[in-house]
Amino acid sequence: MPNTMTAAVLYGKEDLRIERLPIPSAGPGEIVVRIAAALTCGTDLKVYRRGYHAKMLRPPIPFGHELAGTVAEVGPGVTKFRAGDRVVALNSAPCDQCYYCSRGQQNLCDDLLFNNGAYAEYLRVPARIVAKNTLHVPENVPLEHAALTEPLACVVRGLEETNPRPGDSIAVIGAGPIGLMFMHAAQLSGLRVIAIVKRDEQIAAAKTFGAEEIVQITAVDDVVAAVRALTPDHRGVDIAVEAVATPAAWQQAVAIVRKGGTVNFFGGCAAGTTVELDTNRLHYNDITLKATFHHTPETARRAFDLISSGRFKCREYITGRAPLSEIGDVFHRLMDRSSDIKTAIIP
């Protein structure tokens, strides 16, 4: 194995540099993964735009967090994996000892350990993530498909937290990578999906991933009325998911849900953002407002099962591929609202 590797390092707002870094070595309980594919992500794009992420990283720092590959080295004490194993390593692991972990809210762990640096040839996986959130990938599952586990785990948890019932209607605001993933996960759970999209090319993508009805915001005068018109007696949807991360979309989500319905504010707005909501409507319509963040080891495994079973449309979801040397161009295209859903960066 060589001594240095190519890696992408985030230095700040829209400042992503390709550098040569030492290849990491595996300490006790750790593994080093030779990355086969790292996927672009809406969170990564948001961090690229803002130059930081309050919970996951502070620059300068190696960048990227959705990956799969093969084990290049195992550290002392590792028995579950050996060199050559195909694996997907999640980007975090909880402590399982704090107050939140004890209540089954491991996504809120006081000591949630994050790991970044997927846009590289190699990545060291900390011992806690090796033990709790690294999974063997079967030979029949492409590694770039396995790399979808982390975002799908977040979506699976978000959907489960809305307590859906088969046959429920769900409106998903936004047809970016996460919005489309919500649509498909909802469809696979037996829900009737209404997609709220903006651009023409998003219509076909939404249909591919399970939307039965499409409302294009540029083609209707009143989005809320258009969505409600697709529900019996115009009562609104059972579940509304916001996957855009704007105050207007948060308000829209509340407006389209029925009495007794549930809203999931999944899109993370910028720090300091505030939203005005009609308290009268919330109270007298008994509406549940829910925000979900991140994933847990359990939802990671349920997401991985969806992928490895072949039920999730991984092939359609990964719409581009690029070498690591072109990652700057890839992010510039994503900034310009590229029609790509996810691009696999191949080191």
Q: How far apart are CA 286 and CA 216, in angstroms?
A: 28
More confident residue, 306 or 44: 306
pLDDT of amino acid 46: 79
Write out pLDDT tens, residues 192-241: 999 999 999 999 999 999 999 999 999 999 999 999 999 999 999 999 99
Q: Which residue has the higher pLDDT, 54 or 312?
A: 312
C-beta atoms surrounding 91 within 10 Å: 27
Residue 45 confidence (pLDDT): 83
Tell whether the model's pLDDT for residue 60 goes beyond 90. Answer: no
**What is the bridge-based pairing of β-strands 67-74 and 86-89?**
antiparallel
Residue 213: phi and psi, rounded to 5, are: -130, 145
Give the pTM: 0.95
pLDDT attached to residue 49: 79
Tens of pLDDT, residue by residue over 29-45, are 999 999 999 999 888 88
CA distance 50 to 12: 8
Residue 98 burial (10 A CB sphere; 0-12, 13-18, 19+): middle
Q: What is the mean pLDDT of residues 285-302?
A: 97
Number of Cβ within a 10 Å radius of residue 231: 19
* Residues sharing a CB contact under 8 Å with residue 50, sequence separation 6 or more, in sequence order: 13, 270
Alpha helix positions (H), the chain: 42-50, 99-102, 127-133, 143-146, 149-160, 177-188, 200-208, 223-228, 247-256, 279-284, 297-308, 314-317, 327-335
Q: Which CATH class is domain 162-290?
A: alpha beta
pLDDT in tens, 267-280: 988 889 999 999 99
**Residue 133, token pair as written in the block:** 């959130």
Which carries the bigger pLDDT value, residue 268 or residue 262?
A: 262
Residues 267, 268, 270, CA angle at the centre, nearest 5°?
135
Three-class SS of residue 317?
helix
Where helices occur in 10-104 by DSSP H, the ranges are 42-50, 99-102
Domain spanning 4-153+294-346: which CATH class is it, in words? alpha beta
pLDDT at 54 over 70: no
CB 144 within 8 A of CB 68: yes
Asked if 7 contacts 45 with a C-beta cutoff of 8 angstroms, the reply is: no
Residues of the chain with CATH 3.40.50.720: 162-290
Within the chain, which residue ranges are assigned CATH 3.90.180.10? Answer: 4-153+294-346
Rg (CA), the chain: 20
- Give the pLDDT score at 270: 83
- Give pLDDT tens digits for 99-128: 999 999 999 999 999 999 999 999 999 999
pLDDT at 24 over 70: yes
Give the length of the chain.
Answer: 347
